[in-house]
């Protein structure tokens, strides 16, 4: 049997199915993380709105300025 035929023979086999318990574990874990991330996002949004309402908008502005401004790296070679 040449290489090509042997490769075809190997490719003719399917891959085994993972245990359904693994599927359940991964999906449940992922959903939990996504819920947590969404809750964090909502809480941050509410905090921003409250901050704006009470006249602390400049705090949001400073946080955005620090977190969203790209750092610049300037390396000078001697």
Rounded CA-CA distance 40/14 in Å is 42
Q: Which residues contact 60 (CB under 8 A, 6 or more apart)?
A: 48, 51, 52
15 is an interface residue for other proteins by CB under 8 A: yes
Q: Which stretch binds other proteins (CB under 8 A): 33-41, 43-51, 52-60, 67-75?
A: 33-41
Residue 30 interacts with other proteins (CB under 8 A): yes or no: yes
Q: What b/e string do you get for 43-55 counting C-beta neighbours within 10 Å, with b at 16 or more? A: eeeeebeeeeeee
Which is closer to other proteins, CB of 29 or CB of 57?
29
Q: Which residues bind other proteins (CB under 8 A)?
A: 1, 3, 6-7, 10-11, 13-19, 22-23, 25-27, 29-31, 33-38
């Amino acid at each position: 049997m040449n290489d090509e035929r042997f490769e075809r023979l190997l490719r003719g086999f399917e891959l085994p199915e993972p245990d359904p318990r693994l599927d359940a574990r991964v999906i449940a874990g992922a959903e939990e993380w996504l819920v947590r991330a969404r809750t964090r996002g909502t809480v941050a949004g509410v905090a921003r709105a409250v901050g704006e309402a009470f006249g602390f908008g400049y705090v949001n502005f400073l946080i955005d300025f620090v977190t969203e401004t790209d750092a610049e790296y300037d390396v000078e070679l001697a």
